[in-house]
Amino acid sequence: MGHGPVDVVVVAIGAPKFDGTILTELERVAATGTIRVLDAMVLVKDADGAVVGLDIEDLPADDQARLGFAVADSHGLFDASDFETLAEGLVPGSALIALAIEHVWALGLTDALYNAGAEIAMSYRVPATIVDEQFAALGSDQ
């Protein structure tokens, strides 16, 4: 197989504080070979309801270079219809980040499963906040 599984993650931010830490962490995790960022889009709705969108392929070349950890030949997975759909749900003064993230760590496992004739019957992601809450309810700090 040429690719690992891909998650499309949309993160809502009630009061955006973009200080570079999200970008730094994406860069760090991509550098370890754990994930590949296939595409990303940021939408911000101002207090008047105007939406500004930022997509990787719309950036000038020098700004795209700063996002070198994002796979260049896959930009464009998010399009204008995604922008419109996601913008509808934004409340004034909020933002969102949409990411298409390939799980590179799973390539070997995916190949092994495929070669064994396995098929995915179900896939479900439990958000980290729910995992933390459940472990806290169990009295565990794992």
Rounded to whole angstroms, how far apart are CA atoms 62 and 78? 21
pLDDT of residue 85: 93
Residue 128's DSSP bridge partners are: none
pLDDT at 20 over 90: no
Predicted TM-score (pTM) of this structure: 0.80
Residue 139 vs residues 10, 101, 128, 130, 142: alpha-carbon distances, Å:
30, 32, 16, 14, 9
CA 76, 51, 82 angle in degrees (round to 5)?
30
Structure confidence by residue, pLDDT tens digits, 78-103: 888 999 999 998 999 999 999 999 99
